[in-house]
Amino acid sequence: FLRKGGNFLPATGTILNGRLSSAYPFISQIESRYYGSYNKFLDWHAILDDWGKPALWKNHERLSLILNKHGKRITFEDAYGKENKVLLTIPCLMSDKQKRHYKEMEDRAITELDNGDLLEASGSAVAIRRCLEIMQNPESMGIKEGDAGKSEQLRNLLYDAIQDKKPVLIFEVVKSAQYKWAEIAKEMGLNVAVMNGDVTGDKRQWMDKDFRDGKLDVLVCSPDVAGVGFNWQHVDVIVFMSLDWQDTTFIQNYRRALRGVREVVLKIYILMYRASIDGRIAQKINAKSRDRTEVE
């Protein structure tokens, strides 16, 4: 297309999606001689770890100058004004048994379940996933003593929403936990639906419509599925039961309720277990956000 079609205009809300290298394809098409190759881009902007992967980013100002020369940036504030939101972090505590299994998985990538089976992780990525599952839904992992921390906090937030007659939007990374939070909402007499990768496009449209029409009190979503394309400005309360690793995913998620100008402040609750991977994910999101902001 570029050889035959002439000019093109890339438009995106996330040109820096978690890492500076996500801007490389755009810059390569605009003018390949800025860097010449992807490896040269990494030489300019990345500090690599022992495995050759970017660990930290540098020379943000060079990338900023290139994007400023060839691009036009319109911020959310330019379009709609300052975000009318407040972030509220709620610390939670794991149960004793839950914490023991979590620490064993985090430290040794193996733990013994109540029935005597061994739960193992074949690598660091799997171990992280297992840790998240033990935190968010220990029952699904064969840990019979469930968590009281995030479950109780969610019940309190839903109770407040019932009193205020406000719909609630919940984001959860772990699929089994999405249904767990939905069951808690149902037990409290609320109309609830789960929107994740198992739901077809047609059903998502119906859920979207029912949520906007007030037929659903609570919508539990996976961050990826509900990250774009939905306008839920009627929502005043969002609860993040767990966080995705991408800062742009977090922003896209809560901006489902920031479509246009808000008169009522949007309350964004983030539930986090103390001394857990929740904190590391939050730190990673903050680091990515700082890199992006420095370029922008």
Mean pLDDT calculated for residue range 158-187: 94
Of 209 and 4, the one with more pLDDT: 209
Q: Which residues of 42-60 are buried (b: 16+ CB within 10 A; e: fewer)?
A: beebbeeeeeeeeeebeeb
Of 110 and 209, the one with more pLDDT: 209
Copy the structure tokens of residue 84.
């009318």
- Residue 91 predicted with pLDDT over 90: yes
Would you state the pLDDT for residue 5? 66
pTM attached to this predicted model: 0.84
pLDDT tier for residue 118 given thresholds of 50, 70 and 90: very low
The one-letter amino acid at 52: G
Copy the structure tokens of residue 56.
């930290």
Would you state the pLDDT for residue 129? 84
The one-letter amino acid at 115: N
The 3-state DSSP class for residue 92 equals: strand
Gap between the Cα atoms of 134 and 137, Å rounded: 6
Mean pLDDT calculated for residue range 70-78: 84
Phi and psi torsions of 15, nearest 5°: -65, -30
Of 228 and 150, the one with more pLDDT: 150
Mean pLDDT calculated for residue range 143-171: 88
Would you state the pLDDT for residue 190? 95
Of 219 and 10, the one with more pLDDT: 219
- Residue 13 predicted with pLDDT over 90: no
- Residue 122 predicted with pLDDT over 60: no
Would you state the pLDDT for residue 111? 56
pLDDT per residue over 178-210, tens digit each?
Answer: 999 999 999 999 999 999 999 988 999 999 999
Mean pLDDT calculated for residue range 162-168: 91
Would you state the pLDDT for residue 153? 94
Cα dist from 198 to 16, 17, 191, 249, whole Å: 29, 25, 19, 19
Average pLDDT, the chain: 87
- Residue 30 predicted with pLDDT over 90: no
pLDDT tier for residue 109 given thresholds of 50, 70 and 90: low
Would you state the pLDDT for residue 203? 92
What is the percent of the chain with per-residue pLDDT over 70, rounded to a whole number?
Answer: 92
Would you state the pLDDT for residue 121? 55
9-13, 63-67, 134-138, 204-208: least confidently modelled range? 9-13
The 3-state DSSP class for residue 52 equals: coil
